Structure 1
């Protein structure tokens, strides 16, 4: 019953909430809007909608639109330089997790010296303290995947060393977040599934984490339940707003889980895959390894009761054995048409898997310390090998 709870984010949740942005007390008068290099934010009229809200609020803005699906250090550096040059006094991350994560890192570097990797506390990062308060961050999510609107974390890849690492501080919690499911109806079915499973695994990992507590458990089980009952519906019909509402809620709850508990080594293993192969969507990588990963823990005897409760939350109400969770998980993947993903389709080879294991331990090895059972490098390699197609 011992826990720390600190999630200092004002969240506006619900359909049409972006239209209320101009009514909020915003943290500055000039914003750097951080979006992806893709076309969807503009093509769907979302950027125009945001700019209209800022115009109503009397806030000027400049757009930085180079963010990749797996955010890169070079773009953090470039975005921070633009924020300084334009004298922006806050940052808006607008889009999926990559845009919001990049906005957080840019906000840090807009007010601090050196390189962002100076402040990263894992891998080759120097782990220096963030001395100056970052620019305030407004997070407006158009996807339901990372929960980054409700946590302090930013996952950035240092492309020259293939290090994909999550970092965060109390000062990188968003000042304000908007979760508007109406912005999510244009997401294609496959990406809806990838993002939804990312949210799911934030909660399943947070629930199995040895730091899990009564508060994180509340949010995790509700998120798992909402995804189990609604993700396949959102995949089947992207305009089903009831399903979108519930998956978006699960995503935000999972972000709170990330703040109160945290990920375990499943995320380390996936980050290493997509660090070497940045064309691999994060959610897809998690799906690929998930059956073998959770089977390992189901057979370990370390968290039987929790796996059963997760299976029940996922919809297998009669669950009584740890492997029931794996069965429920695979069934949901089948219903969402993502149960046959292949690593080889993204250029991953069997021969490089041992090196990827080393990368997972080097970059985010701390997540292995909160696993419910010890995962050796041999176990990790076996998970990759069993997942390989």
Structure 2
């Protein structure tokens, strides 16, 4: 059965097949009259995007679209998008696509009414009190993949084009006012993207579940999110038009991003700099480094992952869980290591430095330092 529901946690979510038809209602609920649809270059000319623009135009909302979004969106993309937004006199953003489009769309909404350059507002500290909250316009998020969960996040990840580092822009009002999760929009997604985004959702749940921080609500959400990925990602990978599997993977993505309020860890601390420098797919990179990170964290997470394995129906405790991850990666054709992923001539010292500067480091179950992080990175190649 394909689920349909309305949720208000952590924001208003319209979940179900065909619910993109409610885009005009969602705009009305947020007060948007001249929205800008932000998507990526690959989606801009696809039928699902044109159909959404048709719905907007029929409702008198225009069909303005900005699609100059790189796979790892940059500050240059943001600057161009903000100019497009302001020049068009828009009053809200529809972020439409995968994590890249969602992150950039949210940043455009954030920057629409700010007066300083983007990096003045960078970082996760102090709830971004430097920002003019009244200058942040409404956001509607429409994910077309099932992985990042940016549609329910209060942050955007943007690459600094000068330093090639991924940095965070954070504000409570970056949480979209309305999310439309329509699994039909993900039908036919290529297998590689299905695998990478699905493993991103799994990584979010796994790292949140493993985080030493106290957050029982996130803990439970993370555990069930892992189960959904275990049960439905292989189905979505095998049949791109399995809408039931696609729906449950969209739920897993929402759950992973909600759960990681509890914190992420070494998987993301490593994946972020590799993606920024070598332009790898984020979720696929997470999948590639997942087993090395599990070995790295074993002493601190073994008992906890024994509990997870039991819930997931995986025999063998930690070793069984570890083996399951490897088998899942193999079944999804995930590269064996970072070399196979295409990371050539890496500057290990620079990657170590960037990994240790990543906010995820502080939440890893095992304390990370230059020596053990270097050893971990080398094991990933």
TM over 0.5, shorter chain: yes
Partners of 1:355 and 1:323 lie apart in 2 by: 32
Report the secondary structure of 2:365's partner residue.
Answer: coil
State TM-score, norm by structure 2: 0.92
Match of 1:232 in 2: 234
Do residues 241 (structure 1) and 243 (structure 2) align? yes
User: What is the count of residue pairs matched by the alignment?
Assistant: 369
CA contact (8 A) 2:269 2:355 kept: yes
Do residues 381 (structure 1) and 381 (structure 2) align? no
CA displacement 1:45-81 (0-9 Å, x = unmatched)? 1112211221243322421111011111101111011
- Picking from 323, 332, 354, the partner of 2:349 is 354
Match of 2:305 in 1: 307
Report the secondary structure of 1:15's partner residue.
Answer: coil
Task: List gaps (5 residues or longer) in structure 1.
Answer: 1-5
Match of 2:5 in 1: none
Task: List gaps (5 residues or longer) in structure 2.
Answer: 1-7
1:41 Cα offset (Å)? 4.4
Partners of 1:354 and 1:315 lie apart in 2 by: 40
Match of 1:3 in 2: none
1:113 Cα offset (Å)? 1.1
1:376 Cα offset (Å)? 1.9
- Picking from 27, 34, 39, the partner of 2:38 is 34
CA displacement 1:274-298 (0-9 Å, x = unmatched)? 11112x1001211121111111111
Partners of 1:380 and 1:332 lie apart in 2 by: 25
| CA 1:253–1:174: 2 relative to 1, 3 Å | same
State TM-score, norm by structure 1: 0.90
CA contact (8 A) 2:34 2:61 kept: yes
1:315 Cα offset (Å)? 4.2
CA contact (8 A) 2:68 2:77 kept: yes
1:345 Cα offset (Å)? 4.7
1:226 Cα offset (Å)? 0.4
Match of 2:266 in 1: 265
Partners of 2:362 and 2:255 lie apart in 1 by: 24
Partners of 2:31 and 2:212 lie apart in 1 by: 37
Report the secondary structure of 1:330's partner residue.
Answer: helix
Do residues 144 (structure 1) and 146 (structure 2) align? yes
Query: What is the Cα-based RMSD across aligned positions, in Å?
Result: 1.9
Match of 1:334 in 2: 330
CA contact (8 A) 2:285 2:338 kept: no
Do residues 319 (structure 1) and 316 (structure 2) align? yes
CA contact (8 A) 2:149 2:253 kept: yes
